[in-house]
Structures are given as C-alpha cells and as structure tokens.
Amino acid sequence: MLRIDDLDTPRNKAGSADVILTTLETFGLHWDGEVYCQSQHLDDYQVFLSELEQGQHTYRCTCSRKLLADRFLDNPSSNNLHIYPGTCRGKSNPCGIPHAIRVKTDDKIIAFHDGLQGRINHNLAEQSGDFILKRRDGIIAYQFAVVVDDYLQGVNHVVRGCDLLEETPKQIYLQQQLGFPSPAYMHVPVIVDRHGYKLSKQTLATAVDTKAPNLTLFGLLRLLKQNPPDELNDAPVPELLDWAILHWCTDELALCSAVSV
C-alpha cells in the first residue's frame, strides 16, 4: 500500500507526489490498489478526534510557541524542557479562539516489543507529556493521522526508521484510547550524513539519482550490511530486489543504529 503524507499544506510542493510515484516505479517498487492521500481523509480524522473529545480525553490549548519558548528560557536547569507543562489542561478555553487540541496522557508505561530493537518501555507523562493531535492552524498532527490511517488501511506490520521509535508509544496510546489494534513494529537504522544528520529535505540532502537505479540499490544494500555479491553490481533492478528479499538479514542490520555516508 502506498500512502502520501500531504497534510502539512504549507510545506507541500506542486508535483512532488508525482515525483515520488515515478521514483518508486523506477526502482521497481510497485504498490497495490489506489494511492492513499491523507488530504482526502480529513473527515475521517475529525470523526475520531470528536470521539476523543466526547470521551474527555482531549483539551484545547492556547499556548503559543513563544510562550513555551519563554518558559524554557526561564527554566534552563529543567530536565524536561521538551515536555508540555499542562498549562491549559485544567482550563475551559472557548473554541472561538486559536487553539491546538492536545490529548491527556497518563502516568503509565507503554511497553511493546520492537522486532529489531527489543522491548521498549516509555512513560508517557514523563517522556512525552500531553501531545498535540490538531495544530493551531487546523492541520491534523502526524501522530494522530497515522494512527487513523493504519486503522482504516488495516495495517498490521510497520517497518520504519529508528528516528520514529520514540513516537511509537504515543501512537500505541492513541490506539488504546480509540480501541484500535496495535500493529507489530520494527524500527531499522537510518542513513545519515557525515555530521550524523538523517538524509532529508530539512538537512538539504539531494534527491535520489534515478538515472542508474540498479547501482543505487546495490550501494544501499552494501550500506545496510546485506553484503550483496559483486556479480550483482550490474544486475537489473528486479533481480536485485529478488535477491534482497531472499537474503535479507536483520542480524547485520541490528549492529548499527545509523548508517553513515
């Protein structure tokens, strides 16, 4: 299944989704069914958000980024500066003023077994706090959207980068609040640059070269310590992918939390 995360409209660029589809096809990565675009499921997100609101699991937060930043400056010795202090949790902020929607978190441990990282224990109140489900600008937050998406699409296995490992307990908590089943999770190493930053648009990483997809795939297999034989260096894309599926080794992958280029 292919999902396009296009909720953050200020950051969307015209034609970028088409580039993604073309790139995937070039690398032999084909999908089943129609492409699922988050922007076409705004009503679904609102339905489940309303369900949480009716169950009194959420509250309106009028805190601005500047207000929170000022608080952090006033408490430089705090160990939990990234945790929302719950300023608005006990308030009844009217819906007519700009606000975000936050979910109430409990002082409880969310535990799950990751397919590669092992057992993960996370105290939501201490390590996450009341996190945002809907931003002040009206955009549904990633954390909430993917929980609904996974449920609607019947996703039962999630394999993704280690950079999202700390976000998983939040999503499991939301699944529990909504009565959704939790998928099985596996978080794999991500490729980073020489400074240790994940390759992404935010770090100005260049787009993948689509001119020689077989060479790129061969290089990636080596980076991920899958040890492809030298004779596959010039192999066509389908042959490389078939070999990778047949010989995939998570033991080698587990040796590193990040792969540097």
The per-residue pLDDT for range 222-238, each reduced to its tens digit, is 988 899 999 999 999 99
The pLDDT score that the predictor gives to residue 260 is 63
Mean pLDDT in residue range 199-211: 83
Is the predicted pLDDT of residue 172 greater than 90, yes or no? Answer: yes
* CA gap 103, 110 in Å, rounded: 15
Query: What's the distance, CA 216 to chain centroid?
Result: 24
Identify any residues that bridge with 160 across adjacent strands, giving them in sequence order.
187
- 80 pLDDT above the threshold of 70: no
- Going from N- to C-terminal start, the domains of the chain cover 1-40, 57-188, 191-261
What SS3 string covers 70-109?
HHHHHCCCCCCCCCCCCCCCCCCCCCCCCCEEEECCCCCE
Q: Look over the chain and give the mean of its residue pLDDT values, rounded to a whole number.
A: 89
What confidence score (pLDDT) does residue 193 get? 82
For the residues 148-153, what does the mean pLDDT come to?
98
pLDDT tier, 215 (very low <50, low <70, confident <90, very high otherwise): very high
Mean pLDDT over residues 69-91, rounded? 70
Structure confidence at residue 9 (pLDDT): 83
Q: Which residue has the tokens 């397919």?
A: 115
Is residue 68 scored above 80 in pLDDT? no
Over residues 183-203, the pLDDT tens digits come to 999 998 888 888 888 888 778
Q: Taking 70 as the threshold, does the pLDDT of residue 254 lie above it?
A: no
Enter the tokens of residue 135. 């931003």
Pair 173, 124: CB distance under 8 Å:
yes
Contact residues for 104 (Cβ-Cβ < 8 A; gap 6+) = 56, 57, 58, 59, 89, 130
Q: Does 155 have pLDDT greater than 90?
A: yes
**Residue 255: predicted pLDDT:** 60
Distances (CA, A) of 188 to 94, 145, 251, 253: 43, 22, 11, 7
- What value does the mean pLDDT take over residues 92-112? 91
Q: How far is CA 13 from CA 20, 52, 227, in A?
A: 12, 32, 37
Angle, to 10 degrees, between the axis of helix 168-178 and the axis of helix 142-153?
60
- Cα dihedral 182, 184, 186, 187 in deg (nearest 10): 0
Distance of CA 198 to the CA centre of its chain: 13
Cα separation, 240 vs 230, whole angstroms: 12
**What pLDDT sits at residue 189?**
83
The answer to whether 146 and 154 have CB atoms below 8 angstroms apart is: no
Q: Residue 21 CB: number of other CB atoms within 10 A?
A: 13
CATH superfamily name and code, 57-188 = HUPs (3.40.50.620)
Q: What percent of the chain has pLDDT over 90?
A: 64
**Cα 15 off chain centre by:** 22
Taking residues 40-53, what's their average pLDDT? 97
Above 60 in pLDDT, residue 74? Answer: no
pLDDT (average), residues 23-49? 96
